[in-house]
Structure 1
Amino acid sequence: MGPRRIVCLTEEPTETLYLLGEQARIVGISGFTVRPPAARKEKPKVSAFTSAKVDRILELKPDIAIGFSDIQADIAQALIKAGVEVWIANHRGVDEILAYIRRLGALVGVAAKADALADTLARGLDEVREASSRLPRHPTVYFEEWDEPLISGIRWVSELIGIAGGREALPHRASQPLAKDRIIADPAEVIATAPDIIIGSWCGKRFRPEQVATRPSWENVPAVRDGEVHEVKSPLILQPGPAALTDGLAELRRIIHGWALR
């Protein structure tokens, strides 16, 4: 039957378990969870991304806590020391997200349902990939995850840009697993790529296209010059779960295909 009492330290296990119909297993969620909306109403919020209410989590008597990435290492350590089993996933690409969904489903004893969900998501990716292959032109896209300092997009975002018909402006940075290696010390690095589209998704705060447009020497960047500076809301694209492969990809497709067909 798998674990019956699960604390989700990030949003993607919560969204996935709801899609699998296994939400009754969830006893605590991240305060940043917005998908699905029902989770915010039904489940106690016990963590942020880099901190957690360990005492509150222990009161919930979880069988396992599920989180994401090295950034949650301190939370994981505290819970492990308190005797809680912890799974910290570290998936960074599109195929790894699909594999994560399958693993999570197997963990809770619903492997067949998880396989079906992952297969459905994969077919959606293939449909967008096929439509994008027919575009008459393919823009260079700079994706910005944070502004102070500039941080470019993580690998799954870069791969989704490619699926949606764009070309990643900074592929060497997207391949880096750690955020510190995606920090852009010199904005001239972005300018030199001459991006046709700029997409911002500042985690936890509203993206400001007007601030991008007034950066020194950015006025001649094609995306700024042509008014192609867009926002994709961070909950749609910056969590490595179903949202990124569905609504996040749909937003990238809308922006990139719109540019290509104008």
Structure 2
Amino acid sequence: MAHVWDSIRFLRRFLWGGLLWVVFCPAAAFCSGSSGYISLAPSTTEILFALGLEARISGVSSYCNYPPRAAEKTRVGDFSHPNLEVILALNPEYIFCTGLEQAPTVARLKALGFRVYCADPSGVEELLKTIREIGAITKKDKRALEIIAEIRAGIAETSEKTKLIPEDKRVKVFLEIWHDPLMTAGKGSFVDELIEIAGGINIAREVRRPYCNFSAEQVAAMDPDCIILAYMDERNAVGMMGTRFGWENIKAVRSGKVFNDLNPDLILRPGPRVAEGVRELQKRMYPSAEGGVK
């Protein structure tokens, strides 16, 4: 019987020691045997898919809607409040996040021992750096360089058309991110750079905050040539703008250059489709019979 009791005592010590290890060493408990990736941001989800990592993606946020196959992945909560229980169950190798809004979530995930990459590019070059770094993390360096080359080529094509536009002929643009309250993109924002690449002059470029409220009176006073709504509203865009006090005399409204048909994800989401976003911006700022710069 002695050997039986020795075995029982050993088993108790083993189980107790294992419990202490789980409680005090969460990193070891959760990261051992981890696999796959979780993306809590639509932009990083697009990057992971573009890198050819669809099979390795185990979870995404509820806002991740592109490519359409992202809908087939396990939902791990929304952008600001991910479900930690689901994340723990999926036990990912790496978690990809973005921006200051997710900072508390990033801190909690790191405290649990997860490896977290936070991407928050404010410009095209920072986006390319992000793609390169995610490619290195996921061992997709070659594909990352291919994506970067494709983006550079697409943006260069648009930039060449921009060079043909005389400085005094470039259109003033108001990009409306939301209508209540009225919001736009200022200096230092990702969108501000895209407008410049496409040949436009952002009327909010002197605002020192990337994204900010902007008064309707300011828009009327600055009289933009073109208004682009960064949300797809089914209502008649020109008619809607004309109902705002003082906006009926804005050049963009009078000439009908108010657009609500641009997929906002192409310009607000720093991802692999950025060159397409710049191209679509330019088409609306400089429409012609061919749909491009005259």
Asked if Structure 1 and Structure 2 have the same fold, meaning a TM-score greater than 0.5 normalized by the shorter chain, the answer is: yes
Secondary structure class of the residue paired with 1:143? strand
Which residue of the partner structure matches residue 15 of structure 1?
46
Cα deviation code 1:234-257 (max 9, x no counterpart): 2222111112x1332222121122
Identity of aligned residues (%): 32
Q: In 2, distance between residues paired with 1:132 and 1:241?
A: 22
Which residue of the partner structure matches residue 158 of structure 2?
128
Is the counterpart of residue 113 in structure 1 residue 147 in structure 2? no
Residue type of the alignment partner of 1:51: H
Cα deviation code 1:112-159 (max 9, x no counterpart): 221221022111101100012113631101111111111112622111
Which residue of the partner structure matches residue 252 of structure 1?
281
Which residue of the partner structure matches residue 179 of structure 2?
147
Is the counterpart of residue 195 in structure 1 residue 228 in structure 2? no
Kept in 2: contact 1:54–1:78 (CA 8 A) = no
Which residue of the partner structure matches residue 37 of structure 1?
68
Is the counterpart of residue 61 in structure 1 residue 91 in structure 2? yes
1:47-58 aligned at under 5 Å gives the runs 47-58=77-88
Distance 1:207 1:169, change over 3 A: farther
Which residue of the partner structure matches residue 221 of structure 1?
250
Residue type of the alignment partner of 2:209: Q
Q: In 2, distance between residues paired with 1:71 and 1:46?
A: 17
Secondary structure class of the residue paired with 2:96? strand
1 or 2 for the larger relative contact order (CA 8 Å, sep ≥6)? 1
Which residue of the partner structure matches residue 162 of structure 1?
196
Q: In 1, distance between residues paired with 2:201 and 2:102?
A: 31
The range that moved more, 208-217 or 43-52, is 208-217
Secondary structure class of the residue paired with 1:258? coil
Structure 1, gaps ≥5 residues long = none
Secondary structure class of the residue paired with 2:286? helix
Of 161, 171, 183, the residue aligned with 2:205 is 171
Cα deviation code 1:67-99 (max 9, x no counterpart): 110011232233233332222222111111111
Q: In 2, distance between residues paired with 1:70 and 1:194?
A: 33
Larger radius of gyration: 2
How many pairs are equivalent? 251
Secondary structure class of the residue paired with 1:171? coil
What is the TM-score normalised by the length of structure 2?
A: 0.79
Secondary structure class of the residue paired with 2:275? helix
Which residue of the partner structure matches residue 18 of structure 2?
none
Cα deviation code 1:95-115 (max 9, x no counterpart): 111111111111111222212
Structure 2, gaps ≥5 residues long = 1-33
What is the TM-score normalised by the length of structure 1?
A: 0.88
How big is the alpha-carbon RMSD for the aligned residues of Structure 1 and Structure 2? 2.1
